[in-house]
Structure formats: structure tokens, C-alpha cells
Structure 1
Amino acid sequence: MPEIEISRDGTAITLHVPITLRRIGGRKMVVSPDGEQPWAPPRPQVDGPLVNALARAFRWKDMLDAGRYATVEELAEAERMNASFLARVLRLTLLAPDIVEAILDGRQPPTLQLQPLIRKGFPLAWGAQRQALLQQTRVAE
């Protein structure tokens, strides 16, 4: 609960608001006190590396689907990168459409980061993906 102090001469007002700063995804975020509603809805924050990885993954998928490259190894050689990394990024094309849309709009949870997503993986079933993201968000809070 905010506290307000007024100076004795009445010329200054001091407002004390309890907040917590938390580092989420390399950014400092203000976390409101437990039980308090934030004073404004969070602004969408587009995660550039995650959006770029999605764009690359869908471009690579299109190249494979069109038959330009027969295997992930051929594509990785053409892109001059490790085939294992390319395959992990390519797996992002299996995300549920609403999750992809949320990422592109910047509405994804702040805990959803590229590196953990491609390192740890995610469930293939869309419903399970949504559940996993909800649990990941709860754990970070």
C-alpha cells in the first residue's frame, strides 16, 4: 500500500510505493506488490531474437517443402551453420499458431526466451504447449 507524506510546510509531498525490480530475460522489470493490480497493463514487448528465429525457421521449412534442399544437412551446409542448431530452430515451426502470433505481437510471457525454448524443447501437442507456457510463467513469478 502506498504511503503519502506531506512536509511540515506543505510544499512537498513524498509518495512511497513498494515495488520490486526483477531481471527477466536480461531486462529489469518492475513487479507490483503481491495482491496489487498493476496500474497499467503491460506494453507488448517484441523479443527480437525470438521473432528472427521464427522467421528463419519458417523460411527454412519453406525451402525444405519446396524441394530446394533434400535434407536438413544440405540446408545447414548452404546456410553455413551446424545442422543440429538448424534442426532445433526449425522445430519452432511446430509451435501452436496462437503462440506464434503472440510472439510476433509481443504478447508472449516475458519468461518465454529463445535459448531455453530451443535447448529444452517443448511438447508437440498444441494444448500441451499452452500448458507448459502457463507453468513456465507461474514458476517465474
Structure 2
Amino acid sequence: MDNSLETFVPLQFKRKKGKLLVDGRESAHDVRIIKAVARAVYWHDLLDSGRFQSVVEIARAEGLMPTTVGRLLRLARLAPDVVEQLMRGCQPRRLTLRWLMRNDIPALWQDQHQTLEQFK
């Protein structure tokens, strides 16, 4: 099995005069959250496809701690409309990757919306 992994995020990030541009537009995106969600979805696909059998295998291949991979994988459970908000840069400004990693994300999408309401 090939143990090399690449995480692909289909966005182009550039800086112009100190401002972050995403796909050529000025951004209010939290790039760290977007990258983390992309990695989580990719890793989840690796587990579903059987390419990797466990979080420990992914962590070893990525050079991360299994707990970090496990916490990030929870982001793959985000509701599609929440992911869309993140991609558009419309997420609550107080929502951080740190909070997402340190707190449990409800499995039910309706509960996710209620949880994220506290950041508005």
C-alpha cells in the first residue's frame, strides 16, 4: 500500500497587498477551517474506500497524532449547508477551528445548526 497522502483543496489562495484572495476574490473565509474540512472529508473517503483501515494508519501517514486526526474527522459530519457557508465565507466570525476540534459536533444536522447559533 502506498503510504503517501496528499490533501487536495480545490481553491486557489493568493495574497494581494496583504489581503487574502480565494479564487481571485477578497475573502472573509477562515482558510484553516476550510482546509480542515477538506482534509476530514478526504480522510473519511480513505476510510470508506478501505485504502486505510484506521485513524492510526492515517495519522502515521500524515505525521500527526491519532487524536488530532480523530478530532478533525468529526468535521466530515458537518451538514452540507454548514459546509457551504464555510466555503462562501459566511460562517459566524467567532467560530474557530480550535472550537470545532475541542468540542463534540452533534451528529444530527438540526442539532448542529442549534449549536452554531451560539456564535452569531
TM-score, normalised to structure 1, is 0.64
SS at match of 2:83: helix
Q: How far off its partner does 1:62 sit?
A: 1.2
Structure index of larger Rg: 1
Q: How far off its partner does 1:114 sit?
A: 0.5
Which segments of structure 1 move beyond 2 Å, counting only runs of 4 or more?
A: none
What RMSD, in angstroms, separates the aligned Cα atoms of the two structures?
1.4
Distance 2:89 2:119 in 1: 17
Mapped contact 2:74–2:105 kept (Cα < 8 A): no
Q: Where does residue 49 of structure 1 map in the other structure?
A: 32
Can you give the 5+ residue segments of structure 2 that lack an aligned partner in the other structure? Answer: 1-25
Distance 2:27 2:113 in 1: 19
Distance 2:88 2:113 in 1: 17
Q: Relative CO higher for 1 or 2, CA cutoff 8 Å, sep ≥ 6?
A: 2
The one of 90, 97, 112 aligned to 1:129: 112
SS at match of 1:63: helix
Q: How far off its partner does 1:77 sit?
A: 0.8
TM-score, normalised to structure 2, is 0.74
The one of 102, 109, 117 aligned to 1:119: 102
Give percent identity, aligned residues only: 41
Distance 1:66 1:122 in 2: 23
Q: How far off its partner does 1:129 sit?
A: 0.7
Count of residue pairs brought into register by the alignment:
95
Mapped contact 1:102–1:108 kept (Cα < 8 A): yes
Distance 1:135 1:75 in 2: 32
The one of 83, 96, 111 aligned to 1:100: 83
